[in-house]
Structure 1
Amino acid sequence: MAPAQRTKTPATTTKSTAHEPGKAQQAILDKKGDVRRAIIEARQELRPGARSTKSREICNQLIEQLRASSIKGKNGQPPTLAVYAALRYEVDLDRFIRGAYAYGYRIVFPCMIPNAAQGAMCMRSVSCNNYLGGNVPFIVDPRKPWGPAVTEEHQTLTSTRAGATRRFIPSRVKGSVPPKDDTRFPVVPPSEIDLVIVPAVAFDAQGNRLGYGLGTYDRYLPQLREDCMLLGVAFAEQEVELVPCDEHDRAIPQFITA
């Protein structure tokens, strides 16, 4: 079978002018929207088997990167890796995550912050047992906020993976989560994170990245240490000629693809 061809979607970077900043900004947003729709459609056209194979190849590359790196933890902690729970059609990191747990790394996942600016997130530590149990609320549905201010109604509506050992039990006091569950998934400050695996909707050869439009990673990445390692992951079909960029958009030094 011939290898899949990369989808090249042309796009241009629009710079703001002093005379029409509103129009210039809207032009960038429009271009981003066009690229986002085209690449999401191309990604969805991948057959499930192809996505699975490509995800496995990407995970193997990430494991090799980890072995070759000189990442060391801080303050006596094992190295801390920030990963993500894949949404449908995204690169699935499960193989890499399991391997990282086996090597003894501390793994943290993005968790959307309730009652904060749209797209604001923190990173919470998840043990191997809790990850394998399949009942971590912000892994079950990464799009929903979770934390001390999340309401009981919101938690009750959170779905659970098939085969999970138990359903996540919400607090009986509305406006809070069970203290033991908040403690079980402690927030890890950005200063303690040594490597971040960053998902993308689209990317280009210069490392420019396009997400879903909330600016979640663009706001979070500047909080990391300067020596924190960043690796983007995406399918080869998600590469474009040039990602339209704003000044606040953060480039990723390296993308791992398949």
Structure 2
Amino acid sequence: MTLKQDTRASVLARRKQIPSALREEKSLSICERFLEEIDSRFEGETPSSASAERLRIAAYEPMTSEVDVHPLLYAAYEHGWEVYLPCMAKDTRDTPAHMVFFPITQNHLTEQRPAFLDHPARPYLLDELHAQGWQEADERLFNVAVIPLVAFDSGLMRLGYGGGNYDRFLPKLREDCLVAGVAFEEQRIDRVPTEPHDLPLPCIFSA
């Protein structure tokens, strides 16, 4: 195994050991801090592509032991903000999958869940998604981006899942987008193994 693979496996095993009640408590704390930052950043301001009452938030549907960001998503709906979640899509059956974001309503989360929310790593054909009415968002419209991760360090370096999806996603965002990772303190390590192209996140909320 490479150093990144070994680190990833070790931290994921540690994250999985967090008791569910503690994970829920920590997740809520992280979401509350994230919301405070959103309120602080956008209160009384008008972002260039959305009013302060209609922010566009790119997040994720939590898998297994990830930080549960649902409290943040439900708060976003209460504020009337727009929520976008990722899907792995392929232009053709023979091309590599890439991450796109679709607008997700609260009803999609609770009642009429699209398949890609329950199977976030499974690739879907883009033409079939379009036929179902899904249209991918322009990443430059996002005001807020919630970034999942496997491990992080005090320098805000992020270790992801190895697919490079967020490495490709982050450069597409506007300069004034509020970008922050979310993680449990159990995912903090002394030093994330990096390569020359790896860059730190602007902010990471942890608990």
In structure 2, what residue type is equivalent to 1:64?
Answer: E
Tell me which amino acid in the other structure corresponds to 1:222.
P
Letter in structure 2 aligned against 1:127: T
Match of 1:113 among 89, 96, 100: 89
Q: Please say if residues 80 and 108 of structure 1, whose CA atoms lie closer than 8 Å, have aligned partners that are also in contact.
A: yes
* Mapped partners of 1:252, 1:68: distance in 2: 19
Which residue pairs with 1:98 in the alignment?
74
Structure 2 residue matching 1:99: 3-state secondary structure: helix
Check conservation: 2:50, 2:56, Cα contact below 8 A.
no
Would you say the 8 A contact 2:11–2:187 is kept in 1? yes
Shift of 1:177: 4.3
Secondary structure at the counterpart of residue 69 of structure 1: helix
Provide, for residues 160-205 of structure 1, a one-character-per-residue CA deviation record: whole Å limited to 9, x for no partner: xxxxxxxxxxxxxxxx3472x3x2x321101101110000100011
Shift of 1:225: 1.2
Q: 2:124 aligns with which of 131, 146, 149?
A: 146
| Residue 180 of structure 2 corresponds to residue 231 of structure 1 | yes
Question: Shift in Å at residue 219 of structure 1?
Answer: 1.0
SS in 2 for 1:109: strand
TM-score, normalised with respect to structure 2: 0.89
Q: Secondary structure at the match of 2:181?
A: strand
Alignment of 1:166-205 (within 5 A): 176-177=128-129, 179=131, 181=132, 183=133, 185-205=134-154
Structure 1 residues not aligned, in runs of 5+:
1-28, 150-175
Q: Provide, for residues 207-251 of structure 1, a one-character-per-residue CA deviation record: whole Å limited to 9, x for no partner.
A: 100011111100111111122111100000000111011122232
Which one of the candidate residues 85, 92, 108 is aligned to 1:130?
A: 108
Q: Deviations over 1:8-34 (max 9, x none)?
A: xxxxxxxxxxxxxxxxxxxxx711112
Root mean square deviation of aligned Cα: 1.8
Cα 1:127/1:72, change in 2 over 3 Å = farther
- CA apart distance, 1:137: 2.0
Q: How far apart in 1 are the matches of 2:70 and 2:112?
A: 12
The verdict on how the C-alpha distance between 1:74 and 1:138 changes in structure 2, with shifts beyond 3 A counting, is farther
Between the aligned partners of 1:251 and 1:133, the Cα distance in structure 2 is 37
Q: Is 1:88–2:67 an aligned residue pair? A: no
Q: Give, as a single letter, the amino acid of the residue that structure 1 aligns with 2:37.
A: Q
Relative distance call for 1:147 and 1:73 in structure 2 (3 A) is farther
> Taking structure 1 as reference, are residues 63 and 191 closer, same or farther at Cα in structure 2, changes over 3 Å only?
same
Consecutive unaligned residues of structure 2, counting only runs of 5 or more, are none
Please state whether the residue corresponding to 2:163 is helix, strand or coil.
Answer: coil
> Deviations 1:121-173 (Å, cap 9, x if unpaired)?
11111122222325122212111123434xxxxxxxxxxxxxxxxxxxxxxxx
| TM-score scaled by length of structure 1 | 0.72
Indicate the percent of aligned positions where both proteins have the same amino acid: 29
Say how many residue pairs are matched. 200
